[in-house]
Amino acid sequence: MAEPRKKYCVYCLAEVSPLRFRCTECRDIELCPECFSAGAEIGHHRRYHGYQLVDGGRFTLWGPEAEGGWTYREEQLLLDAIEQFGFGNWEDMAAHVGASRTPQEVKEHYVIMYIHGNLGKACIPDTIPNRVTDHTCPSGGPLSPSLTTPLPPLDISVAEQQQLGYMPLRDDYDIEYDQDAERLISGLSVNYDDEDLEIELKRAHVDMYVRKLRERQRRKNIAKDYNLVPAFLGKDKKKGRAARRKVTKEEKELRMKLRPLYQLMSCKEFDELFETMYKEKMLRAKIRELQRYRNNGISKMQESAEYEVARDKREKRKENKAEDGRNGEFAAIEHLPGFELLSDREKVLCSSLNLSPARYLTVKTIFIKDHLQKRQGIPSKSRLPSYLDKVLMKRILNFLTESGWISRDAS
């Protein structure tokens, strides 16, 4: 049988028959591991080109001096086995690696190389914590899954404790949330002849009970965090009147919009969020005001006061002109009797129809009276004035219908 042709690195000319890296973009470019790791480039070959690992599976990861001569294929099978079968199942792991390795060899190699070796020292910390750290709510908020930092007991008098049924030493109430939660586990007992299904059912009961306890503790923490108990007893009102400032309408509206966040944040976190959001809103309003000053050519704050005074005068002049315009619009009928009895819309209607207020009120009274008589089933016998033609009658009927004085069917 012919001996396989030897392969050499194109950069350093070392023999690379056991393991070499072949470029997938350049032709006949094969590098040894040392040149490949150093990023060697030759001809049109560049270090960022794609590559393919070519080997016979015979090279070792730990060098030729490593004990046992484990090839990289055996190392890969060993890592797959430890993930599949778990630490300690050396017989199954040895069978997965291959018949050439005994369970004792597999154990010694894994312990020496992956635990006590350089790889283990770099990956495994010196001190392993014995509990899981909760990173979801580091400040111990109301939705923290651990709930390992209970708040201090309530500072209330003995009479108030009796009123609430509160036991400060145990931090419990006579009537807790979900008072019947203990029934889930009160009748449970573990027997040696329990089947797997019964054991899982009992575990489910315990899990349900633990969830209810966590919800009970969460509600207690919310009541303490937001001072709900002093507010219930009326203590918070007296302190709040003197300490708290007057809340504006905008602040109340903003708090109402943020109410769904109460259950996700602690009281302190929510207050900080609200203050920053309200401050941002005020800053935005101030920025818009300054931009308005700049657009009007004002570059100094002392000039803004004069600008605001002049702006108020202009607004008042506009309002006065608008009132004068409205008064001039009704100049033809404002001195006629019945003008003060008309609404603004009726004044506009009479002015557009050139109809005196007294005549309009007469026609309005006749139409409303006829409408009420028709609703009661009484035939209408009213006579319309002679000055009321079809155009005026239609305009007035449409106006009374739109204003809600008479129904559309009657019109």
> Total structural domains in the chain?
5
- The answer to whether residue 284 sits within a structural domain is yes
- The answer to whether residue 383 sits within a structural domain is yes
Of 287 and 370, more confident: 287
- The answer to whether residue 331 sits within a structural domain is no
Q: Give per-residue pLDDT as tens, 251-285.
A: 888 888 888 887 777 778 888 888 899 899 899 99
- Say if residue 226 is in the same domain as residue 253: no
Provide the whole-model pTM: 0.33
- The answer to whether residue 193 sits within a structural domain is yes
Provide the domain limits for residue 3: 1-56
- Gap between the Cα atoms of 207 and 199, Å rounded: 12
Write the single-letter amino acid at 50. G
- The answer to whether residue 310 sits within a structural domain is no
- Say if residue 355 is in the same domain as residue 387: yes
C-alpha dihedral sign at 146, 149, 155, 158? positive
52 neighbors 24 (Cβ within 8 angstroms)? yes
* Listed residues 186, 203, 233: the one ending a domain: 233
- Say if residue 223 is in the same domain as residue 258: no
- Say if residue 218 is in the same domain as residue 259: no
Q: Give per-residue pLDDT as tens, 8-41.
A: 888 898 887 667 888 989 988 888 888 988 888 9
Residue 329 pLDDT > 70: no
- The answer to whether residue 303 sits within a structural domain is no
- Say if residue 12 is in the same domain as residue 52: yes
- Say if residue 164 is in the same domain as residue 229: yes
- The answer to whether residue 38 sits within a structural domain is yes
Burial 59-91 (b: 16+ CB within 10 A, else e): ebebeeeeeeebbbebbebbeebbeeeeeebbe
Q: In 111-170, which ranges are E strands?
A: 166-167
- Say if residue 254 is in the same domain as residue 228: no
Tokens 């020292």, located at residue: 121
- The answer to whether residue 392 sits within a structural domain is yes
- Say if residue 159 is in the same domain as residue 229: yes
Q: Give per-residue pLDDT as tens, 188-211.
A: 887 888 888 988 998 899 899 989
What is the pLDDT at residue 328?
61
> How is residue 101 written in tokens?
């390795």
CATH number at residue 20: 3.30.60.90
C-alpha dihedral sign at 123, 127, 131, 133? negative
